[in-house]
Chain A
């Protein structure tokens, strides 16, 4: 039996060796393929934090069964965590957003301004779209990168509501409205907008627009007169935005990471702490994205908020 025992011991050792070899092989192939996670201890050295602002900016945002909310509350909370995290020396905000609601956008703007006041460099990296509220957020950052083809600008405010008056009349539908004041059903979709209501809404829009101009001026350190002529809701490509000094440089996401490291006086190989690198999260987020990308008719009808939003 001794020979058999030796044989089996060799077989077991062979299996253990193969397991070790396969782990080494996987590790090497991961290093060669540039996978972000490598075998070793978690990195805890000073580095850059990355926040993504994707899609319309709203307070609560979309949340799924397996992922956190992506709204301004969640973004401000993440920024707050990064602000209080001693290893985060600078932040890159990756923006791909058509803008969003006023308060949500302003909350993110204020948070970024607060971080800048604490000498934490915040660099904006514009992706496909950083228009209206997307630009509002970017303007709070210390430095703005845009791609040449990025759609940005659209500085302005919008409010809209559908008018179904004719449709209602055609089908004999009428609304029973009991209100406490004459403006309570302003923007009702069952009737025309009155002149005084239009005037009232215009004053709200103008006031909110002035807040936009003031904040962009503050964030970009640029007098309002310098950009108010083209702050009429028009969009710009990244190259045009550079001409008008709405962005600081044409560059990619990698360039923004390098810039953030430079501003924070970090080494080139300093770690980048992403929001979520878990393939599970990414998988479920992509799944949720596919399902929730179809807006319901009800959601489309309820779309009558004052927004810093680029309407495509």
Chain B
């Protein structure tokens, strides 16, 4: 099936509809389909682009926008995909610890798909920046909306993993939240190490 045919048959729309409104049906669709849907990687990549665009809309970037759109976009996309792989591995590991046989490929697809609601951060930001009344803070509301959308993404991931593995919501919740917690810790550690290396390199060139 070609890319155009895939777009025209609108099966992707069913996935997205179920992702937003019917997670149980989404888990069935995932079970019936191939274990891994490579197209789902598109969502973290588009999310990286939308985050950069919303940041630039908020900050009125100058030439820094082009750096963000090139290096920033590539780095953020790779980062999101790596974080998703990391969270998938940790979630699967946690589920195994709970004596549930994890379906890693489908968990990875779910985590990628769950980025879809977070794409709405861009329309919200554009809306807030375009019509914001005097003395309001579009940056604050944009951040808050991004936070809410992230929670919604986590809820989708938890529910779909729960339906897919036919387990309780609590176990699914624990596996996802613990993985996210460790992923955030790992990211912070990497950021601190990268900063230290950078400052070490700079001090060596004094």
A71 to chain B, nearest CB (A): 14
B135 at the interface (CB under 8 A from A): no
B128 to chain A, nearest CB (A): 12
A9-B10, A15-B119, A280-B71 given; A30·B205 CB < 8 A: no
- B62 near A64 (CB under 8 angstroms)? no
Which chain B positions have C-beta within 8 A of A33? 60, 62
A301 at the interface (CB under 8 A from B): no
> 1/0 per residue A33-49: CB within 8 Å of B?
10111000000000000
- B204 near A65 (CB under 8 angstroms)? yes
Which chain A positions have C-beta within 8 A of B123? 14-15, 18
Which chain A positions have C-beta within 8 A of B198? 65
In which size bucket is the chain B interface?
Answer: 35 or more
- A4 near B122 (CB under 8 angstroms)? no
Report which of B14, B65, B126 forms a contact with A18, defined as CB distance below 8 A. Answer: B126
Which chain B positions have C-beta within 8 A of A35? 62-63
> 1/0 per residue A52-67: CB within 8 Å of B?
0000000000011110
B4 at the interface (CB under 8 A from A): no
A300 to chain B, nearest CB (A): 14
- The CA of A237 and the CA of B13, in the complex, are separated in Å by 72
Within 8 A of A (CB), among B5-63: 10, 13-14, 16-17, 49-50, 53-54, 56-57, 60-63
- The CA of A4 and the CA of B15, in the complex, are separated in Å by 10
> 1/0 per residue A1-28: CB within 8 Å of B?
1001101110110110011011101100
- The CA of A8 and the CA of B11, in the complex, are separated in Å by 11
Which chain B positions have C-beta within 8 A of A8? 10, 13-14, 16-17
- The CA of A64 and the CA of B205, in the complex, are separated in Å by 5
Segment at the B interface, from A73-81, A146-154, A258-266, A286-294:
A286-294
Which chain B positions have C-beta within 8 A of A280? 67, 71
The residue of chain B having its C-beta at the shortest distance from the C-beta of A27 within the complex is B65
- A22 near B62 (CB under 8 angstroms)? no
5 smallest CB-CB distances across A and B, nearest first, come from A35-B62, A37-B63, A8-B13, A5-B13, A65-B201
